């Protein structure tokens, strides 16, 4: 691509005087494909090909190729590099002005992106799905996504969303969302165990019975106290007269286990998510398990955008299958 580079200590190469009048540039602007015009205007606004590509939801290589073709078509250099920044040449500035004027004259509508509402159980959002959602936003800056955290059965019943990811206590999806959905699918079965930070416990001194827990502070995420499937742990916590703390923030519970020498109940996969945490099997005689369920609203307005989110979720769980096996 014919972008001008800085020419050493003398600074950037001087702009080439535009060879066309404003009326000539207007004629040239009229001949540019609307998609290419949009690529040019977004790149000019962002001053960065990578950011512009994210906003357009295309690859940066494709963006630069189309802009290079535009320069060849117009026989003018449109962008130059100044230091670490990308700016328009004088020809580029003239083209930008004419394209903006044309856009106003044609009253081109803003391309509205569909709003997708996603509700996710708080532990799943924090431990499993959050990173891939952030990666999605890095790739596609034009996405309109509302993410709702579910921390209890009550909050699950209160939502009305396009896609929902929740935890159930039994072998079925009930109780599930209150709105009609397509048949839900189970993504994983989670086993729950008490966890402790490795830094606060040597292998030879880790507790291996309920009685050994008397020497440790216990921490519980308050919503877990209402979960029937976790009753063996909840009973231990309820019987405590001292050395126990209840928290309403899932992330705070994790920090208290990591840094506060506390023992708390977490899914067994946590050892893969955070190598500094270790499970304590054998403390409780009864197993504690829950299931992760995914469902899509029965009638959605933007099926393609919803399917993109569903595929992201299922791919994330498939990629972490060893966590659950």
CATH value at residue 166: 3.40.190.290
Measured distance CA(286)–CA(284) in Å, rounded: 6
Closest CA to 99 of 183, 198, 29: 29
Exposure of 23 in the CB half-sphere (CA atoms within 13 A): 0
Per DSSP bridges, beta strands 79-82 and 85-88 are: antiparallel
What is the per-residue pLDDT across 2-41, written as a single tens digit (0 to 9) for each? 554 444 444 443 444 444 566 677 677 788 888 898 899 9
Predicted local confidence at residue 170, as pLDDT: 80
Predicted local confidence at residue 107, as pLDDT: 55
> Is residue 314 scored above 90 in pLDDT?
yes
Q: Which residue has the tokens 């159980």?
A: 121
Q: Do residues 166 and 283 share a domain?
A: yes
172: in domain: yes
Q: Do residues 33 and 133 share a domain?
A: no
Cβ contact 86:48 at 8 Å: yes
Q: Do residues 176 and 59 share a domain?
A: no
Q: Do residues 125 and 176 share a domain?
A: yes
Q: Do residues 99 and 122 share a domain?
A: no
Predicted local confidence at residue 274, as pLDDT: 93
51: in domain: yes
1: in domain: no
Cβ contact 218:264 at 8 Å: yes
- The mean pLDDT value for 262-286 works out to 93
Q: What is the CATH number of the domain that holds 48?
A: 1.10.10.10
Q: Do residues 78 and 121 share a domain?
A: no
- The mean pLDDT value for 102-128 works out to 82
Predicted local confidence at residue 207, as pLDDT: 86
Q: Which of 83, 106, 129 is the last residue of a domain?
A: 106
3: in domain: no
Q: Do residues 155 and 290 share a domain?
A: yes
What is the per-residue pLDDT across 121-147, written as a single tens digit (0 to 9) for each? 999 999 999 999 998 888 877 788 999
Q: Which residue has the tokens 């799905």?
A: 129
Q: List C-alpha distances in Å: 70 to 56, 57, 78, 135.
A: 17, 19, 9, 30
What is the per-residue pLDDT across 219-239, written as a single tens digit (0 to 9) for each? 999 999 999 999 999 999 999
Q: Do residues 214 and 133 share a domain?
A: yes
Measured distance CA(225)–CA(287) in Å, rounded: 16
Q: Which of 74, 106, 138 is the last residue of a domain?
A: 106
194: in domain: yes
Q: Do residues 249 and 230 share a domain?
A: yes
- The mean pLDDT value for 226-255 works out to 95
> Is residue 270 scored above 50 in pLDDT?
yes
Predicted local confidence at residue 143, as pLDDT: 84
Query: Could you list the residue range(s) of the whole structural domain that residue 220 is in?
Result: 115-324
Q: Do residues 38 and 170 share a domain?
A: no
Predicted local confidence at residue 18, as pLDDT: 45
Residue 21 in tokens: 């009048």
Q: Which residue has the tokens 């670490």?
A: 84
Q: Do residues 172 and 306 share a domain?
A: yes
Residue 212 in tokens: 């050994």
Q: Do residues 265 and 283 share a domain?
A: yes
2: in domain: no
Q: Number of folded domains in the chain?
A: 2
Measured distance CA(295)–CA(154) in Å, rounded: 17
Closest CA to 64 of 106, 3, 114: 3
Q: Which of 57, 84, 106 is the last residue of a domain?
A: 106
Greater confidence, 191 or 106? 191
């Amino acid at each position: 691509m014919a972008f001008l580079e800085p020419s050493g200590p003398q600074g950037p190469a001087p702009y080439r005087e535009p060879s066309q009048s404003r009326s000539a540039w207007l004629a040239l602007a009229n001949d540019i494909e609307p998609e290419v015009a949009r690529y040019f205007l977004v790149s000019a606004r962002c001053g960065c090909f990578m950011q512009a590509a994210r906003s357009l939801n295309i690859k940066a290589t494709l963006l630069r190729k189309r802009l290079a073709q535009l320069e060849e078509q117009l026989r003018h250099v449109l962008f130059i590099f100044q230091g670490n920044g990308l700016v328009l040449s004088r020809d580029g500035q003239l083209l930008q002005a004419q394209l903006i004027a044309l856009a106003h004259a044609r009253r081109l509508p803003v391309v509205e992106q569909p709003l997708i509402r996603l509700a996710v159980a708080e532990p799943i959002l924090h431990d499993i799905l959050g990173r891939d959602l952030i990666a999605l936003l890095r790739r596609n800056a034009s996405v309109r996504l509302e993410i709702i955290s579910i921390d209890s059965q009550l909050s699950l019943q209160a939502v009305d969303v396009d896609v929902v990811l929740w935890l159930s206590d039994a072998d079925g999806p009930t109780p599930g969302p209150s709105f009609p959905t397509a048949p839900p699918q189970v993504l994983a079965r989670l086993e729950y165990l008490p966890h402790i930070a490795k830094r606060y416990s040597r292998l030879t001194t880790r507790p291996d019975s309920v009685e050994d827990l008397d020497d440790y502070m216990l921490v519980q995420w308050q919503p877990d106290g209402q979960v029937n499937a976790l009753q063996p742990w909840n009973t231990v916590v309820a019987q405590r007269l001292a050395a126990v703390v209840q928290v309403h923030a899932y992330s705070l519970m994790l920090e208290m286990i990591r840094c506060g020498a506390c023992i708390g109940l977490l899914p067994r996969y946590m050892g893969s998510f955070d190598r500094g945490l270790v499970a304590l099997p054998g403390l409780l005689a009864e197993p504690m398990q829950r299931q992760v369920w995914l469902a899509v609203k029965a009638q959605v307005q933007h099926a393609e955008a919803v399917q993109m989110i569903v595929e992201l979720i299922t791919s994330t769980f498939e990629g972490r299958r060893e966590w659950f096996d």
